[in-house]
Amino acid sequence: MTSKMLFEPYTLGSLTLSNRIVMAPLTRNRAGPGFVPGDLAAEYYGQRASAGLLISEATQISQQGQGYQDTPGIYCQAQIDGWRKVTDAVHAKGGRIFLQLWHVGRVSHVDLQENGAAPVAPSAIRAETKTFVNNGFVDVSAPRALELDELPGIVNDFRQAAANAIEAGFDGVEIHGANGYLLDQFAKDGANVRTDAYGGSIENRARLMLDVTAAVVDEVGAERTGIRISPVSPANGISSSDPQAQFGYIVDQLDALGIVYIHVVEGATGGPRDVAPFDFGSLRRRFTNTYIANNSYDLDLATSRLAEDKADLFAFGRPFIANPDLVDRLKTSAPLAEFNPATLYGGGSAGYTDYLVMAAESRA
């Protein structure tokens, strides 16, 4: 099998994708007042619409779910209207886009919470990580443990956010269950020491992630629902004593719900693929529908993993920042531009929408 297979159409549920390249979620901290995505966001995503599937930057389902400054929301009409400009721009270029639904849990700061409240978490255990707030990186604030009677409200926030995303014109939603954020915190015993129905056993720790997924499926349909997981990533100070058993169970239950894809961070998010022993192939075998592979993929690795039937789609993250035409560059084996790290988070068009595409003659 050659790399040509990566650039052929792929059927994802009821959608036909133009290729097997996925743009992974990339937080860029450029939402406007009211956490509304603006015209720059529409331009940014429209520039990258040649990806088979775009997954939006992580988008908070409520103010409580916010963990970083200037990240967009999907919980009020102004935000829905702002995102509609983005989906219109992507669809006008023939692209497909899912919105990633996000609650950060304990990875937040009191300055981002209503009335300076403490962030929430499965247990009152502070994460050993930093967040971006007040134009700099600072330690996250100490969280409080969520009460049992608060959890249905969080499930409903995810449900409503999914409905809002479809109203905004998205082709579907991706639940953020990875990278040490709220649903991952509940699933992993390094952050969850609860003794109620949402703590202790593998089944109990998985409950909130599965409750959320079932609610989203009920609201928008399984073929419009995906989820991102990161079984062994230590991102945001998270840890698990039993990731193989925990995520084997989770994926079995996700498969039973019939969701359209799982998006799996293989290894440490943005880091080594071999950070801890884990059989990702077992997740691939357990799940009936589409498996999106993520983490340090390049053309050669994606081509070889596709040839081995280890995944269906391949997510590329940071290469999309400086290469809005990444698909063309991969297809023609053209060199990739490097992004400017100083403009990753916050700011305006510089380092966001001003990266150049290849000249037409170089794509021939």
Residues 6 or more apart whose Cβ sits within 8 Å of residue 235: 129, 178, 179, 180, 268, 269, 270
Domains of the chain, with CATH numbers?
3-363 (3.20.20.70)
* pLDDT tens readout for residues 189-238: 999 999 999 999 999 999 999 999 999 999 999 999 999 999 999 999 99
Greater confidence, 100 or 272?
100
What's the rounded mean pLDDT across residues 233-257?
97
Catalytic residue set: 181
What DSSP designation does 127 have?
-
What's the rounded mean pLDDT across residues 34-51?
98
Collapse the DSSP code of 335 into the 3-class scheme (helix H, G, I; strand E, B; otherwise coil) and give the result.
Answer: coil
The first and second tokens of residue 364, run together, are 């021939």
pLDDT of residue 273: 94
* pLDDT tens readout for residues 111-136: 999 999 999 999 999 999 999 999 99
Report the alpha-carbon distance of residue 96 to residue 109 in Å, rounded.
Answer: 33
CA distances from 178 to 116, 202, 263, 294, 334 (A): 26, 16, 9, 12, 32
What's the rounded mean pLDDT across residues 250-274?
96
CA distances from 149 to 16, 123, 198 (A): 41, 14, 12
* pLDDT tens readout for residues 157-184: 999 999 999 999 999 999 999 999 999 9
Please provide the DSSP assignment of 19-79 as one string. Answer: SSEEEPP------BGGGB--HHHHHHHHHTTTSSEEEEEEEESSSTT--STT--B-SSHHH
Collapse the DSSP code of 237 into the 3-class scheme (helix H, G, I; strand E, B; otherwise coil) and give the result.
Answer: helix
Place of tokens 């097997």: 20
pLDDT of residue 361: 45
**Which of the four pLDDT bands, split at 50, 70 and 90, describes residue 1?**
very low
pLDDT of residue 96: 98
pLDDT of residue 63: 98
Q: Please provide the average confidence, as pLDDT, over all residues in the chain.
A: 96
pLDDT of residue 360: 52
Collapse the DSSP code of 89 into the 3-class scheme (helix H, G, I; strand E, B; otherwise coil) and give the result.
Answer: helix
